[in-house]
C-alpha cells in the first residue's frame, strides 16, 4: 500500500508547530438550559460522551461545506480542552496536570439524524462525527489551568444566538477529565469538546459563525 494518512495539526497561538490531534471526545448535555431545550433531564446524572473523527477538525477561517444527508444542520459552540499529558483514572484534583490549553470549538451536528437516532436508540456517529464537523480556533497554551468561568458567545451573521458563561457547566473540565479517564487512557493530542449552552439552531449556506470565549482566540467560519 502506498498511501499515507495525514497528521491533523490544530494551530497553536504563538507556536509555529500545531497541536497534533489524536482523538476528539465530546460531552453531551453539559449546560442545564441546553439539556432542557433538548428535552433531557438536566439533573446531575453522570455525563455521557461521544466521539468525532480526528480529521473532522477544521481551522479558523474555514469555509465548511453544507453536509449531505441533512436538512437541519446545527451549531453548538463549545469550550475545547486540549490534552498534553497522558492519564488513566485521574483524580479530579490532578486533572489540571493533563491540560495543554484551550480553544473555541463548534460541535456541528446533523440534528435530524441525531433526533432519529435518539428515537430509534441507534448510535450517534453519523449525526455527530462526519466530515468538517469539528471546527476549532487556535489553541491557547495554558498548562495546568482549569477554565471554570468566562463568557461564551456565538453570533450568526452578527446576531447573538448563544450566550452563557463557563461557570454554568454542569460537569467541570476537571470532572470531565477525571470521569473520561476511567473509561480509557487520555493521551497527548486528545481534544475534549465540553458541551454547548442553550440556543442551538440551524445554519444555511452563506451563514457566518463567530464564536468567542473570554481569554481565548476567536473562531470564525462560514458555511459554503
Ligand atoms: Mn455538543
How much distance in Å is there from the Cα of 4 to the middle of ligand 1? 30
CA separation for the pair 209, 160 (Å, rounded): 10
- What the block records as the C-alpha cell of 45 is 446524572
Mean pLDDT of the 193-216 span: 98
Tell me: pLDDT of 44 over 80.
Answer: no
φ, ψ dihedrals at 97, nearest 5°: -65, -20
| Topology (CATH) of 9-223 | Fumarylacetoacetate hydrolase; domain 2 (3.90.850)
- Tell me the domain boundaries of the chain: 9-223
Expressed in angstroms and rounded, the spacing between residue 184 Cα and the centre of ligand 1 is 21
pLDDT one-digit tens code per residue, 73-98: 999 999 999 999 999 999 999 999 99
C-alpha 157 to ligand 1 mean position (Å): 21
Q: What is the mean pLDDT of residues 52-69?
A: 98
* Nearest CA-CA partner of 104 in 197, 222, 9, 193: 193
This prediction's pTM? 0.97
Residues 78 and 107: their CA atoms lie apart, in Å, by 7
Distance 3 CA to ligand 1 centre (A): 33
pLDDT score recorded for residue 189 = 98
Q: Dump strand ranges (E) for 108-189.
A: 109-110, 134-136, 140-141, 151-156, 159-165
Contact of 171 with 30, CB cutoff 8 Å: yes
Q: How far is the CA of 78 from the centre of ligand 1 (A)?
A: 7
Grid coordinates given for 200: 442551538
The CA 94 to ligand 1 mean position distance, Å, reads: 25
Residue-wise pLDDT for 116-141, tens only, equals 999 999 999 999 999 999 999 999 99
Residue 177 has pLDDT above 80, yes or no: yes
Stretch (H or E) spanning 113: helix 111-120
Amino acid at each position: 500500500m502506498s498511501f499515507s494518512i495525514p497528521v491533523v495539526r490544530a494551530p497553536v497561538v504563538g507556536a509555529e508547530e500545531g497541536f497534533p490531534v489524536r482523538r476528539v471526545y465530546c460531552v453531551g448535555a453539559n449546560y442545564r438550559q441546553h439539556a432542557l431545550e433538548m428535552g433531557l433531564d438536566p439533573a446531575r446524572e453522570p455525563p455521557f460522551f461521544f466521539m468525532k473523527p480526528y480529521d473532522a477538525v477544521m481551522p479558523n477561517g474555514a469555509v465548511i461545506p453544507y453536509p449531505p444527508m441533512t436538512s437541519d444542520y446545527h451549531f453548538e459552540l463549545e469550550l475545547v480542552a486540549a490534552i498534553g499529558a497522558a492519564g488513566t483514572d485521574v483524580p479530579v484534583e490532578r486533572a489540571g496536570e493533563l491540560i495543554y490549553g484551550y480553544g473555541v470549538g463548534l460541535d456541528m451536528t446533523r440534528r435530524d439524524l441525531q433526533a432519529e437516532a435518539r428515537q430509534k436508540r441507534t448510535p450517534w456517529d453519523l449525526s455527530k462525527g462526519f466530515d468538517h464537523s469539528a471546527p476549532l480556533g487556535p489553541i491557547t497554551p495554558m498548562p495546568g489551568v482549569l477554565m471554570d468561568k468566562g463568557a461564551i458567545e456565538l453570533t450568526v451573521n452578527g446576531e447573538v444566538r448563544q450566550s452563557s458563561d463557563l461557570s454554568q457547566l454542569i460537569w467541570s473540565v476537571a470532572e470531565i477529565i477525571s470521569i473520561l479517564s476511567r473509561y480509557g487512557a487520555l493521551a497527548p493530542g486528545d481534544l475534549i469538546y465540553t458541551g454547548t449552552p442553550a440556543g442551538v439552531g440551524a445554519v444555511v449556506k452563506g451563514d457566518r459563525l463567530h464564536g468567542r470565549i473570554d481569554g481565548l482566540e476567536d473562531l470564525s467560519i462560514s458555511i459554503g
